Amino acid sequence: MFDLVNAGKKSVVVDLKSAEGKAVLYDLLSDADIFLTNTRAKSLRKLGLDYESLKERFPKLIYASVTGFGEEGPETDKPGFDLVAYWGNSGFLNDLSIDTGTSYPILAPTGIGDVTCGTALFGGICAALLGRERTGKGDYVTISLFGGAIWIMSFMYLRAQQRYGDPFPKHREETPPLTAPYRCKDGEWLMLSILEYERYFPALCKVLGVPELAEDPRFADKKAADQHRGELIRALEERFIREDFAYWNKALNESDIVNDRLRHFKDIVDSEQAWVNHYLTKVEFPDGGECVMPRPAVQSREMGVPELERGPLLGADTPEVLSERLGYSGEKIKALLKSGAVQQHP
């Protein structure tokens, strides 16, 4: 996981509580484009590394910050990780569980809040860099895990408002029947995605071998079907369970009905579609072991597909960066290492 989000980076370890270490950071910032931090504002102010402390000294710097809950309000200084600030506070875990009477909240996926918020912040940083090209001035760009969740899940907050009458969590039989998953004979789940009810429902009924359902007054149109969701779901469940996923998938595809299998996490590393589009790559570790690593999905034709370099050990590049980037002498680097102002991975 460390390699996944640190691929291609260099690592310098600096003690920011020492005057010598802070001087090293200032030297790095003197010609840097971007300063990115996820340290809480209170700690940054104490270190003198908050935006207000740096903006006059480095007027062209793009200062980017990730927080747990935002820059203002009663929860500003709360510690926040993906699990609580993004998943717990967003409503996702509680309201997207299926109500069975004895349900538990669903398990939070690992790191999605971190990755989505980091990706969104990347866009903000690029916009700030473009702005600097036009104005010559730096900028302050920020996102929070909580705010990122609100944006990513914004449709859910619209749906859940009382005026739209779409409360959560839902029971299985409250879900729209033609955009729901169905268990097949082999235990796999097939996901339907029929958004044009009147156009595709008769074709679905024909594929399932129950054309009479399309003539049933309870399901004659979308409005009627919405009032009889439970009955329609049970009728579809009774048909899908009779054949394996592959059978239904082929038949539905031939009728131009959007569907697919609910895949498992373990399936993706064998996905031909993912490999041919360079969404995955293999990484070999020093011990000879191999791992399949996801790659960023945004691609550039000019850049091509760069090789994925593993994340650096902490401090692995300290001497190199101080020498080549800042022009420090060997003696100065040795003195900084000896004092502990900077560190190198042994």
Contact yes or no for 146/85 (Cβ under 8 A): yes
The encoded tokens of residue 305 equal: 């597909």
Looking at this protein, which amino acid is placed at residue 156?
Answer: M
Q: Rounded to whole angstroms, how far apart are CA atoms 32 and 60?
A: 9
Q: Rounded to whole angstroms, how far apart are CA atoms 42 and 247?
A: 59
Question: What is the DSSP track for 261-284?
Answer: E---GGGGGG-HHHHHTTSEEEEE
Q: Rounded to whole angstroms, how far apart are CA atoms 320 and 125?
A: 26
Q: Rounded to whole angstroms, how far apart are CA atoms 94 and 108?
A: 10
Residue with the two structure tokens 């408002």: 161
Q: Rounded to whole angstroms, how far apart are CA atoms 267 and 62?
A: 40
Among 87, 19, 84, smallest CA distance to 47 is for 19
Give the number of other Cβ atoms within 10 Å of residue 312's Cβ: 18
Q: Rounded to whole angstroms, how far apart are CA atoms 24 and 219?
A: 70
Q: What angle do CA 50, 53, 57 make, to 5 degrees?
A: 125
Residue with the two structure tokens 């996102």: 143
Contact yes or no for 189/217 (Cβ under 8 A): no
CA 120 to chain CA centroid, nearest Å: 9
- Choosing from 82, 114, 139, 317, which is the catalytic residue? 114
Q: Rounded to whole angstroms, how far apart are CA atoms 17 and 15?
A: 5
Residue 66 β-bridge partners: 143
Question: Which residue spans within 151-289 are E strands per DSSP?
Answer: 170-171, 181-183, 189-192, 259-261, 280-284
Contact yes or no for 304/310 (Cβ under 8 A): no
Is 99 annotated as catalytic? no
* Residues involved in catalysis: 114
